[in-house]
Structure 1
Amino acid sequence: MKIRQITPAIGAEISGVNIGEAARDPAVFAEIRAALLKHRVLFFRKQEITRADHVAFASGFGKLEDHPVVGSVPDYPGLVKVYRSDNPHSFENSYHCDGLWRPNPAMGAVLRCLECPEIGGDTIWVNMVKAYEELPDEIKSKIDGLRARASIEHSFGAVMTPENRAKLAQDHPPVEHPVVRIHPETGEKILFVGASFTTHFTNYSTPANVRHGIDKSPGASLLLNYLTSRATIPEYQVRWAWQEGDVAVWDNRSTQHYAVNDYYPAPRKMERAGIVGDIPY
C-alpha cells in the first residue's frame, strides 16, 4: 500500500490496495483508518468492488445510517444513491458537513463513482481544523462556547410542499451543536458550522455581545457568514476529478465538501455509505 499526499492541507491518494479485500484484513484496514485521521480524505482509483464490498468496507468504521429523504438501495441499508442525470438541481453543490442536522452528524462516508461526466463533476473537500486554527485570536475568543442551530427543513425540505416540509421538520427537529467541536479521536478543535444546514447562533444575544438592537441580528449574521465562508478558502482544500471506479473516504467530523454541479446534462452516478457519528461536544 502506498500513500501519496495531494495537498499540504488535506487529502491523500492510496494505491496498491482493494478496499473490498481491506475490509477483510484488519491490519490493512487499521493502516487506512490511521491515514484517514491524518489526511482527512482518502482516494482510491479504479476499485473493482461490489455493493457488498462497499458496505463491508464502510461498516468497518461503524454502523451505517439511512437518509430520511433519499433512502437506501434495496437490500443494502445505509447505501444511498446519488444519481444526477435529468435534473440540473443538486443539494450537494454547497459546502456542507453531512448530517449536520442530526443530533449525531455522520462520522464519515465512503463514496463510490459508478458513472461520471467526461468533463466536470469534481468534488472539493475542506480541512475545517485548519479553518479554525488560522482564525484571528479575537474571533476564536468570541466563538468560544458559542452554539448554533442546524436544520434539514430549509435544505432538503425547500422543494417539498408545506405539509411535507412540516412533517420532515417534525420527524427531524432542529438540533444545536457547538460552533467549535472537539474531534473525539485526535482532540483537535474544528470549526463546525456550514452554510447548508446552520441557521443561527442560539446563545449569541448576551450582554457581552449586544448593546443595542442592531448588534443582535446583523452582528450574529455577519459573524456566521464569516465563519461559514472559511470553507471556501483554497489553501484548505483538495479537489478530486472523478474517474469511474474511484472511491473517496472522508472524516466528516473534520471536513466539509462541495460537489461541483457543472456537468448537466451529462450523467453522474455515485453511491454513498454514510457512517453513524457521535454527538459533538
Structure 2
Amino acid sequence: MQATFDVTTPRPGPGSIEVHPLTVHIGAELRNVNLADVARDDDLFAQLKTLLLQHKVLFLRDQDISRAEHVALAERFGQLEDHPVAGSDPEHPGLVRIYKDLDSPAEHYENAYHCDATWREAPPMGCVLRCVETPPVGGDTIWVNMAQAYQRLPRDVKERIEGLRARHSIEASFGANMPIEQRLALHQRFPDAEHPVVRTHPETGEKVLFVNAFTTHFTNFHTPANVRFGFDYSPGGGELLHYLIRQAAVPEYQVRWRWTPNSFAIWDNRCTQHYAVQDYWPAVRKMERAGVIGEKTF
C-alpha cells in the first residue's frame, strides 16, 4: 500500500523537532535539533527516520558536529559503504570526500540526475551529506521525488514499463574518462547491475521510477509485443528510456537546497534522485558523504 502524508503546512514534529516542509512533494527543513544528539538518542532517531520516510530528504543548518558524530549518525541507518572512485577520509572509512577545487574542473560526475550507486546490485539505502566548504554563490543541490514521478506517468506508459528491467553501469559513467585497461578493470570489479524499472519501496510500499543517469538500456524490451521490425529495437527502447529518465527534470517533483557550511542533507536513496549543480568553478566546494548499504531490488 502506498504511504500518504500531509506535508502542506509547517508544524512541530514529534517531541521538540520543528518540521518545515519546503515543497508540496519533497523535502523538509528540521530545526531545534542537534544531529549529534540524534546519533545517541533512540527516540530522536526514530522521529528522524519517520520524517525521512515522509519527506524523502531532510535538511538541517548549523550542525557543528565532529566527523565521528557524522559517521555515528549514518551508522544508525545501517553499515556504511566505501566508493571505488571517490576517496574516503582516512580516519573514517565510509565517509567519502567529494571535494571540488581548482584541480578538478573537468569532473562532472554529479551534474546529472542520478540515484547514488545504482550500478551496485544493492544500491545505497540513503546518505548523510555535510557541507564543509561552499562557494560564495552557486553549488546548490536538487532532489527529486521519483515516487511522484512514477505516480504522474500516463497510464499507457505505466502499462508499457510494467515488468521491464534495466542495466546500470559504473563503467559508462565513472569509468568513461579512464584509460581502457583501468576502465575494464573497474567493470570487472563492478559488473553492470540489473534493476526493475519500477521499484517498490521496501518500507513505504510506494512504486518508484528507478532509472537515472547510470542506466544504459532495458534488458527485456526486445519482445514481439514491443518490436514489429528490427529497427524498433534500438530507438524504441532507447526513446522510452530517455523519456523516463527526463522525468527527474520536472520542477514539480523537486526541491532545491542552498548550502551553507555545516548544513546537512539526509535522503532516502531508494525513492529520490539528485543533481549537484556545478555552476561555481573556479570556486571551491567540499562535501563529505556517508552512504548506507541498501537492499537488493529484485
> Is the partner of 1:209 in helix, strand or coil?
coil
- 1:48 is aligned to 64
How many pairs does the alignment contain? 280
> Is the partner of 2:266 in helix, strand or coil?
strand
Q: Could you tell me the TM-score, scaled by structure 2's length?
A: 0.93
Aligned residue among 226, 240, 249 for 1:223: 240
Q: Deviations over 1:8-44 (max 9, x none)?
A: 0100000011101110000011000000000000001
- 2:123 is aligned to 105
> Is the partner of 2:260 in helix, strand or coil?
coil
> Is the partner of 2:73 in helix, strand or coil?
helix
Q: Deviations over 1:241-276 (max 9, x none)?
A: 000110000000000000000000000000000000
Alignment RMSD, CA only?
Answer: 0.6
How far, CA to CA, are the matches of 1:104 and 1:96 in structure 2? 15
Q: Does 1:158 align with 2:176?
A: yes
Aligned residue among 281, 284, 298 for 1:264: 281
**Structure 1: 5+ residue stretches without partners:** none
- 1:79 is aligned to 95
Q: Does 1:134 align with 2:139?
A: no
Aligned residue among 189, 200, 204 for 1:171: 189
Aligned residue among 10, 20, 30 for 1:14: 30
CA positional deviation for 1:71: 3.2
How far, CA to CA, are the matches of 1:120 and 1:18 in structure 2? 26
Q: Could you tell me the TM-score, scaled by structure 1's length?
A: 0.99
- Residue 173 of structure 2 aligns to which amino acid in structure 1? S
> Is the partner of 1:203 in helix, strand or coil?
coil
Q: Deviations over 1:198-238 (max 9, x none)?
A: 00000000011001012110000000000000000000000
How far, CA to CA, are the matches of 1:98 and 1:121 in structure 2? 18
How far, CA to CA, are the matches of 1:127 and 1:274 in structure 2? 19
- 1:190 is aligned to 208
Q: Does 1:273 align with 2:290?
A: yes
- Residue 198 of structure 2 aligns to which amino acid in structure 1? V
How far, CA to CA, are the matches of 2:182 and 2:94 in structure 1? 23
- Residue 268 of structure 1 aligns to which amino acid in structure 2? R
CA positional deviation for 1:70: 1.4
> Is the partner of 2:116 in helix, strand or coil?
coil
Q: Deviations over 1:41-89 (max 9, x none)?
A: 0001010100000000000011100001113211211100000011222
- 1:114 is aligned to 132
- Residue 289 of structure 2 aligns to which amino acid in structure 1? R
> Is the partner of 2:176 in helix, strand or coil?
helix
Q: Does 1:4 align with 2:20?
A: yes
- Which runs of 4 or more aligned residues in structure 1 lie more than 2 Å from their structure 2 counterparts after TM superposition? none
Aligned residue among 88, 91, 102 for 2:109: 91
CA positional deviation for 1:175: 1.1
Tell me the percent identity. Answer: 59
- 2:266 is aligned to 249
